[in-house]
Chains A and B, each alone.
Chain A
């Protein structure tokens, strides 16, 4: 356990050092977040104060929906990019010869990517509340549970993307497909109920829909864990199943890459 924490700490430190040494990138990410937030603020004003999806004002609705959507997609993208870069430089092959088991290494690396994206999400929500006066009524316990389960779902998404990258060198294509589907079906920018009935049913099979629902309920409505039990349990089942499938897929793709000699192909 202490060895795993030690490995996690060096991975986090590596990514922090790289992020701060890319000074321009760090500032531009922050500027991008604030620009996006401003655009959504004026979009909600243009639509007008009469629109209350799921019983909340439109700007906070957008704030949580787009914040979480961006978190899912960008964390998986950041994780995938780090693996693609490692393939291009040849670092991946060397990493796979260290004493750390490949699956453990990939999961620990993903934690770092998700930490960065989670920080962005926190800044995004905080700026929305502080600068644009989004009304927040959080239930902290419900928020914490929704965040942990969302992280698990995002982790599974990232591992799926990396699995595709290692197996077929096309992780970004999978991410693009999932990203656009997620935009439509998860209710990030409009209530899922506005969709035609078949798409509503499809949306109910997408874990991100539950994650965004849960986060809106916990952060904007202050709903308790008991009040959201069904959503949280569904989310937990999705998270557990997806993580198991993703890890199995990753192990198989890594083994396949060692056999075919394609570990560093990109």
Chain B
């Protein structure tokens, strides 16, 4: 069964400068964040969203979680339309955002999780055990009673994951989930995500890390300038170096951007180009 479906989805952000730019200067017009994007993801699939900054990855995640509503097209989760059945969609989606400060700094990790779990309608008797479980899953059991204002970036990120997991969502949406994690925590996190997928949780991961995409994803979407350029099934090749290289090559070839952010490069020689420039610099 398809858990998440996008049908011809379009999302545009309009720029309306103050006083029509008579005073100061501000961008005008609009940014097309997603343009006619269609896809579906089944239960238990792990989808990696790849693409340069501003390609539409976070917008896609926000549309799934109903933080944003589409301007055109249909977004549905678990058979419910995000536009009209927002509450039913939200019951199924757990999200870990890239913003690390989205907690109450003067509450401890446990108190924050208790608060969000209650709003996610985890029953009061079930909450203490559930909180212990997710804290253990993200490796924060030692810091459970520390005020989160004393947390490091990595600890905030782990807590964000714990918050996303607490309602045991059918769809898990993660925006650069391992950006601030150390190597051991990252490996632990990947194992946890694979386990969730085996339990039929659909996972969307926006990442700039090809190794992570190859390690986790059963499918990879490549987005660029709001368009879905490629939808690759990775299947049984999960975690191999070949998969990582394939994703990297696909990314540079289709986006037309090379390793130095320059457009229209022949990016198949990414490695050579890097070595050449490194040599010139030294």
Contacts and interface: CB of A to CB of B under 8 A. Distances in A.
Interface in B65-115: 65-69, 71, 87, 90-91, 93, 95, 97, 99, 101-104, 106-107, 111, 114-115
A95 B99 contact: no
B41 to A, nearest CB: 18
Nearest to B64: A97
A197 interface: no
B65 A97 contact: yes
Interface string B113-135: 01110111101100000000000
Interface residues of A, number: 31
Given A94-B97, A97-B66, A97-B67, A14 B104 contact: yes
A23 B281 CA distance: 55
B90 A17 contact: no
A11 B119 CA distance: 9
B248 interface: no
B172 to A, nearest CB: 12
A255 B84 CA distance: 11
A14 B107 contact: yes
B39 interface: no
A13 B91 CA distance: 23
B14 to A, nearest CB: 7
B13 interface: yes
Nearest to A19: B106
A14 B117 CA distance: 13
Nearest to A108: B119
Interface of A: 3, 6-7, 9-11, 13-14, 17-18, 21-22, 89-91, 93-101, 105, 255, 258-261, 263
Given A7-B118, A95-B119, A260-B13, 4 more contacts: A10-B118, A17-B106, A89-B102, A99-B90
27 contacts: A3-B121, A6-B124, A10-B114, A14-B107, A17-B111, A18-B107, A21-B106, A21-B147, A89-B99, A89-B101, A91-B102, A91-B104, A93-B67, A93-B99, A94-B95, A94-B163, A96-B66, A97-B65, A97-B90, A98-B90, A98-B120, A99-B90, A99-B120, A99-B121, A100-B121, A260-B13, A261-B68
